[in-house]
Amino acid sequence: MDGVPWRDVGSSKPFRFIVGPEKREFTIHSALVAGLSPALMTLVTGKFSEARDGQVVLESVDEQTFVFFMEYAYTGSYGEQQVGEWSDFSRRQIVARGRSSVYYPYEDHTQAHDSGSDASRKRQLWAKFTSAANPFYHKGFYGVKKAEGLGRVFMRHAKMYVFADYYGIFDLVDLSLDNLGMALIPFDPNSNGAGDIVALLQYCYETPAPKELKSFVLLYAVCKAETLWQNKAFQELVAGNREISLAFIGQVMGTGQ
């Protein structure tokens, strides 16, 4: 990664990660791991047994999430590019061209409508989500083709966010949230796709996950509430989880964060 000379990376000792219930072993150059965050530096070079032994057990982390983390450690990215995701080059092009080439949906004729109307509220919510998902949301880039079968992609990015947040890898936190947002924006949660959103909400609210990730995913669900509400599993999830139901109502009423 940037900031760690490759000479130092290559000459550093490998640090062993024992991952998942199957205890699969992976190794990463210790200098590279230490350069990702203060928490990982302490893990690798500190006074605890992990640093002395040169290894750590991550039984609760699934192998695929760790493989993507390992890929990120060496390349600055992870996973194959998905429909609707930008390469770094494309992102830089858009930023370089300036504001005129960027679509800000919250500016799209919202003033011409009653701010209290249902339609206006929906626009405001979607603008809030797309802005949080990616402030450089380019009109026409998303929705080129119907996004299908992205459930595993959603979970990949959500799990990566949780992993990165736990270890304080803030660049990876931002990247994973950006990737999740770009995967969600073109997604059509129809009767076949609603289950993917239900699974994503369940992961965020029924396992330890940062508040920011919960709020982000919930905001998407609120934006797609009319479609999602036709799904029985979604109804049962909202009805059976007090935290989700209160947050859901708060967003709909405009009082949520």
Quick check: 120 pLDDT over 90?
A: no
pLDDT band per the 50, 70, 90 thresholds, residue 142: very low
137 vs 79, which has greater pLDDT?
A: 79
Contact 235, 191 (CB under 8 A): no
pLDDT digits (tens, 9 = 90+) for 45-76: 999 999 999 999 999 999 999 999 999 999 99
pTM of the model: 0.79
| Averaged pLDDT for residues 191-197 | 86
Give span(s): CATH 3.30.710.10, the chain.
6-75
pLDDT of res. 32: 93
Q: How far apart are the first and last CA of the chain?
A: 34
Contact 2, 19 (CB under 8 A): no
Quick check: 110 pLDDT over 90?
A: no
- Give the chain's mean pLDDT: 80
pLDDT of res. 197: 95
Quick one: fold of 6-75? Answer: Potassium Channel Kv1.1; Chain A (3.30.710)
Contact 203, 209 (CB under 8 A): yes
45 CB neighbour count, 10 Å cutoff: 14
Cα 2 vs. chain centroid, distance in angstroms?
Answer: 22
| Averaged pLDDT for residues 186-192 | 80
Quick check: 40 pLDDT over 80?
A: yes
Quick check: 42 pLDDT over 80?
A: yes
